[in-house]
Amino acid sequence: MSQTVTARIAEIQGEGYYSPLVGRTVRTKGVVIAHSRRGFFIQDPAGRPNHNTSCGLFVLSYRDKPPLGSFAQAEGKVLDYLASEYDRPVTEIKAKKVSVLDKHGPALEPHWLNGHDLPEDPAQLALYLNALEGMLCGIAAGAVLIAPSNPFADYVVAPADLNERFVRSEHGGVLLDPKVPDRWYPSFRIVDYAQSIPVNVGDRLEQSISGALNYRSAAWQLAVNQAVRIAPGPAIQPGLRSLNQVDDAFSVMTLNALNLDVKVESKELVNDPSRDIDDDVGEGRFLALAQAIVKQAGAPDIVAVQEIQDNDGAEITTVVDGESTYAHLAKDVRAIGGPSYAWVDIDPELGADGGQPGGNIRNGFLYRSDRVQIVPGSVHRLAAEHPAFEESRKPLCASFCLCHKPDTRLTVGNVHLASKRHQRGMFSPEKPGFDPKQAVRVQQARLLHEWLSELEALQRDYYLTGDFNDTEYSDTIATLLDGERVNLVNQLPHRERYDYNHRGKLQVLMHGIVSKSQHAQGRTAYEILHGNELIGVQPGDAGGKASDHAYTLALLSIKKNG
In this structure, of 29-33, 242-246, 398-402, the range with the lowest mean pLDDT score is: 242-246
Domain 249-557 fold: Deoxyribonuclease I; Chain A (3.60.10)
Average pLDDT score over residue span 115-133: 90
Task: Please provide the CATH number assigned to the domain covering 4-102.
Answer: 2.40.50.140
Residue 542 has pLDDT above 80, yes or no: no
Q: pTM for the complete prediction?
A: 0.94
Q: What pLDDT, on a 0 to 100 scale, did the predictor assign at position 49?
A: 64
pLDDT tens sequence across 135-173: 999 999 999 999 999 999 999 999 988 766 678 898 889
In the chain, residues under CATH classification 3.60.10.10 are 249-557
Domain 111-231 has CATH 2.40.50: yes
- One-letter amino acid of 552: T
Cα 117 to Cα 159, 162, 178, distances in angstroms:
10, 10, 21
Q: What pLDDT, on a 0 to 100 scale, did the predictor assign at position 217?
A: 85
pLDDT tens sequence across 413-466: 999 999 988 888 888 888 888 999 999 999 999 999 999 999 999 999 999 999
Burial of 41 (0-12, 13-18, 19+ CB in 10 A): buried
* Euclidean distance between CA atoms 291 and 296, whole angstroms: 7
pLDDT tens sequence across 46-95: 987 666 789 999 999 999 999 999 999 999 999 999 988 888 999 999 99
Q: How far apart are the first and last CA of the chain?
A: 86
pLDDT tens sequence across 211-233: 999 999 889 999 999 999 999 99
Residue 544 has pLDDT above 90, yes or no: no
What secondary structure letter does DSSP report for 197?
-
Mean pLDDT score across all residues of the chain? 94
Average pLDDT score over residue span 313-331: 97
Q: What share of the chain has pLDDT > 70, as a percent?
A: 98
pLDDT tens sequence across 468-518: 999 999 999 999 999 999 999 999 999 999 999 999 999 999 999 999 999
Q: What pLDDT, on a 0 to 100 scale, did the predictor assign at position 173?
A: 93
Sort strands 341-344 and 380-381 into parallel, antiparallel or unpaired: unpaired
Q: What pLDDT, on a 0 to 100 scale, did the predictor assign at position 274?
A: 87
Local confidence band at 543 (pLDDT 50, 70, 90 cut-offs): low
Average pLDDT score over residue span 187-203: 95
Q: What pLDDT, on a 0 to 100 scale, did the predictor assign at position 364?
A: 98
Local confidence band at 1 (pLDDT 50, 70, 90 cut-offs): low
Quick one: which of 492, 493, 481 has its CA closest to 553? 492
Longest dimension (CA), the chain: 88
Count of residues for the chain? 562
Q: What share of the chain has pLDDT > 90, as a percent?
A: 85
- One-letter amino acid of 120: E
pLDDT tens sequence across 274-303: 889 999 999 999 999 999 999 999 999 999
Residue 561 has pLDDT above 70, yes or no: no
Residue 548 has pLDDT above 60, yes or no: yes
In the chain, residues under CATH classification 2.40.50.140 are 4-102
Q: What pLDDT, on a 0 to 100 scale, did the predictor assign at position 165?
A: 63
Q: What pLDDT, on a 0 to 100 scale, did the predictor assign at position 422?
A: 84
Residue 346 has pLDDT above 50, yes or no: yes
